């Protein structure tokens, strides 16, 4: 399959990545009904990051309080997970919820 401009643009979009903080700010409230200021937010964030990255929760805790110690490639994984979650939400909205 030849590489098109669309492939290149999409690949560049994904390669920009998404920080763990950004990912959690978007998806923990949606998936766990827990806001950043609520008790348990950090635990849900760590749980979700472990789920989508394949790292253990302890490994994610070892990245530090602000997750700045994460491997660089995690940002790409999180961007991909973000896209998948967006598709899931659209599918749910249009095909399951019936709106």
Question: pLDDT band at 7, cuts 50/70/90?
Answer: very low
Question: pLDDT of 13-30, one tens digit each?
Answer: 667 899 999 999 999 999
* CA of residue 55 relative to chain centroid, distance: 13
Question: pLDDT of 47-60, one tens digit each?
Answer: 999 999 999 999 99
Which segments of 16-65 does DSSP mark as H helices, in order? 20-32, 41-53, 57-61
Is 45 within 8 Å of 28 (Cβ atoms)? yes
Question: pLDDT of 31-86, one tens digit each?
Answer: 999 999 999 999 999 999 999 999 999 999 999 999 999 999 999 999 999 999 99
């Amino acid at each position: 399959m030849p590489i098109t401009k669309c492939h290149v643009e999409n690949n560049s979009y994904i390669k920009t990545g998404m920080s763990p903080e950004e990912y959690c700010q978007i998806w923990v409230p949606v998936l766990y009904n827990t806001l950043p200021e609520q008790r348990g937010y950090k635990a849900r964030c760590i749980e979700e990051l472990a789920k989508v990255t394949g790292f253990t929760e302890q490994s994610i805790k070892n990245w530090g309080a602000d997750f700045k110690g994460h491997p660089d490639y995690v940002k790409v994984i999180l961007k991909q997970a973000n896209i998948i979650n967006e598709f899931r939400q659209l599918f749910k909205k249009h095909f399951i919820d019936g709106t």
